[in-house]
């Protein structure tokens, strides 16, 4: 189909080119081709202590975290195995023992 990149803001596939700029009709974001190569750099996730995290790592929660929409709490010191790193505000996908699938922020964990 189209070899144009998706919008870096809203990930829309309906981008089009206008001269040297790419434009997204859904969110009206404009960017240049040089910004694309700069945004494709690999992201580095770090824990609360500054250690680099990778997929499959085991981490420990450093403080009590309330579970939104529930009366449950993830206690500080809880180990979470086999994490998966994703883009977004909550950048760790994992399963917490006794609670289930969760998304955590890397700033509230440390590498075990």
Per-residue pLDDT of the chain (112 residues; tens, 9 = 90+): 468 888 888 888 899 988 889 999 999 899 887 766 555 556 789 999 999 999 999 999 999 999 988 899 999 999 999 999 998 889 999 999 989 999 999 999 999 8
CA gap 79, 75 in Å, rounded:
10
Place of tokens 């700033």: 107
Question: Residues 74, 76, 82, 83: what is their CA dihedral angle, to the nearest 10 degrees?
Answer: 80
Task: State whether the Cα torsion 18-24-26-29 is positive or negative.
Answer: negative
Question: Residues 54, 62, 69, 86: what is their CA dihedral angle, to the nearest 10 degrees?
Answer: -10
Is the entire prediction scored with pTM above 0.85?
Answer: no
DSSP bridge pairs for 106? none
């Amino acid at each position: 189909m189209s070899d144009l990149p998706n919008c870096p803001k809203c990930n829309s596939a309906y981008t089009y080119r206008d001269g040297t700029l790419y434009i997204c009709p859904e969110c009206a974001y404009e960017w240049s081709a040089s910004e694309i190569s700069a945004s494709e750099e690999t992201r580095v996730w770090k824990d609360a202590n500054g250690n680099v995290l990778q997929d499959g790592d085991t981490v420990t929660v450093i403080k009590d975290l309330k579970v939104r929409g529930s009366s449950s709490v993830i206690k500080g010191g809880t180990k979470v195995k086999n994490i998966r790193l994703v883009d977004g505000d909550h950048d760790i996908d994992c399963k917490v023992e006794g609670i289930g699938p969760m998304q955590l922020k890397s700033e509230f964990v440390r590498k075990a």
